[in-house]
Amino acid sequence: MNKNMKISTTARHCYTQAYADYLRSGDLDEATRQVARDIYMKRGAKPGTSQGDWQEAERITREWPNTITESSNAHMYDHAMAKTREWLKGVETELQLNNLNDAYRAMRAVLHAMRDRLPVNEAAEFAAQLPVLMMGMYYSGWTPKNKPERMHTLEEFLDRVAVELPKGMEPMRVTRGIIKVLDCHVSPGEMEGLRRNFPEGIQGIWAEASGAAR
């Protein structure tokens, strides 16, 4: 058995949690820190240094990107699907819809209106809070040219939402519902930053959605 094979085996069997976390996040630096902490804890009173622990952790995790198999890629895809479904189920429940397809279209209509009213940098920062598969929907058809679009009043914003809504859906009710769902998943700081990027006439819908005075 060659040295690299030993490293991969060690990665899978001795640092199972760190390896599993790496497969989910893809963050090799954080995984290396986790392994280094494990090495330190296992070392106890034995001779050693933090630098030596880190070097050993790097040796162990260096081969991890090469051990990702089709099955682990499928696991990450399944996780992304589950996260997106969780958000859409929230929309379905909040808006009392009958299927996830309508929930998807409602979410898309509101996110696209928000995206187009935001400055480019803020639009990208907000996208980072979305599930990976929903991020693709968010950016679909988007161009940074001539952004943000002119939407100064709530009526203008709701008209933009209505363009992509299924027939029969009321833009105000849908927008309130989507904001409630976003509040459940997006960090409070990001939601507050998002709100502040809209004109005062549009900001009021956040208070209506949350039932709290701003």
pLDDT by 10s per residue, the chain, length 214: 444 444 444 444 467 777 777 777 778 888 888 888 888 888 777 788 888 888 888 888 887 777 655 555 666 666 778 888 999 999 999 999 989 999 999 999 999 999 999 998 888 888 888 888 888 889 888 888 888 998 999 999 999 999 999 888 999 999 999 999 999 998 888 888 889 999 888 988 887 776 543 3
Q: Which two tokens stand for residue 58?
A: 């790097």
Is 110:162 a contact under the CB 8 Å cutoff?
no
Determine the straight-line distance between the first and last CA of the chain, rounded to whole angstroms. Answer: 64
d(CA 26, CA 20) in angstroms, rounded, equals: 10
Q: Enumerate the H helices of 95-170 as residue ranges.
A: 100-117, 120-127, 132-139, 154-163
pTM comes to 0.64
Q: Which two tokens stand for residue 36?
A: 């280094």
Domains identified in the chain and CATH numbers: 3-68 (no CATH), 74-210 (1.10.490.110)
> In angstroms, how far apart are the furthest CA atoms of the chain?
71
